[in-house]
Every structure is written in C-alpha cells, then in structure tokens.
C-alpha cells in the first residue's frame, strides 16, 4: 500500500479533514490524494497559491515576511500553513513553497522546498532539498509529504 493510500485510511479512521496550500507543487498533493478512492471523505478544499499575491490574499502571508525572508523560506511555509488552518478549519493542513528551477533565487539552490505541517494544532516546519529536474523535484516533494503524514498520523 502506498503512503498516500495509508494516509487517506488514517484520516478516515480519525475522521480528520485535510487541506493543502500548494505553490511549488501546483496542486499535485491534492491531486495525488484525490486519486485514492474514498478521498472525498477527507478533503473538502485545497488551494494553489502560486503567486506572492495569492499567498497574501488567501493565506494572509505578511508582505513584511515576504520582503524579509523571501517566498522560499520556512517563515513563509509557516505563515501559509497557519493561514490555511484558519481559512479551512481542517484538522490537517500542509503548505509547500519552493524552487523547482531551472534557476535558483540567489539564496536557495534549485530543489529547495519549505513545508508546513499542521496536525490538530501542532505545527512542524521543514526545509528539504530535492535533486532532479523540475518535475522530479515536485514529485519528490509530494512523496515526502505523504511519507511524513503517514508517520505523523
């Protein structure tokens, strides 16, 4: 059984709902989860907040935080997941922001992904660097999310 299938099963067992705020992955986390039968029991909404404006508008990410730390930062991943939790009220929320390339941002290497995990009020923020081309990096981030959720739930 794949991590995503186990995550859906665990979410159903706990009667939890999950939401995603995706930038770098552009909806791949939600799409991957929705590919599992029964996913409609655990997900009601997700957001693709690709631009800085979308992050500010929907997730209330601070313009000051963006200016100080940059869009690819643990601070932004944190503000995204907190904003998502407030917006959706989901038991489990995940945020992702990062650099899939082809160019870096002068601070982070290509493949840097910052993720926020909110589970019942507990927040963990992680930063990983994945190797590969644009789509390999995005897919690696999605796999990482479901591996981590499988362990955490």
The whole-angstrom separation of Cα 151 and Cα 153 is: 6
Instruction: Parse the chain into domains and list their residue ranges.
Output: 3-152
| Tens-place pLDDT, residues 126-150 | 999 999 999 999 999 999 999 999 9
Q: How far apart are the first and last CA of the chain?
A: 16
Contact 98, 113 (CB under 8 A): yes
| Tens-place pLDDT, residues 106-132 | 899 999 999 999 999 999 999 999 999
Contact 33, 44 (CB under 8 A): no
Structure tokens at 19: 């939401």
Query: Directed axis angle between helix 134-152 and helix 3-14, to 10°?
Result: 40
CATH homologous superfamily of 3-152 equals CinA-like (3.90.950.20)
Is residue 92 helix, strand or coil?
strand
């Amino acid at each position: 059984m794949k991590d995503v299938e186990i995550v859906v099963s665990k979410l159903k067992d706990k009667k939890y709902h999950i939401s995603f705020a995706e930038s770098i992955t552009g909806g791949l986390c939600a799409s991957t989860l929705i590919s599992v039968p029964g996913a409609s029991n655990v997900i009601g909404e997700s957001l693709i907040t690709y631009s800085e404006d979308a992050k500010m508008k929907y997730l209330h990410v601070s313009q000051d935080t963006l200016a100080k730390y940059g869009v690819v930062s643990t601070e932004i991943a944190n503000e995204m997941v907190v904003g998502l939790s407030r917006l959706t009220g989901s038991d489990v929320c995940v945020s992702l922001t990062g650099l899939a390339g082809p160019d870096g941002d002068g601070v982070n290497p290509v493949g840097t992904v910052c993720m926020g995990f909110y589970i019942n009020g507990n927040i963990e923020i992680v930063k990983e660097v994945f190797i590969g081309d644009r789509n390999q990096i995005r897919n690696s981030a999605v796999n990482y999310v479901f591996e981590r959720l499988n362990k955490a739930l």
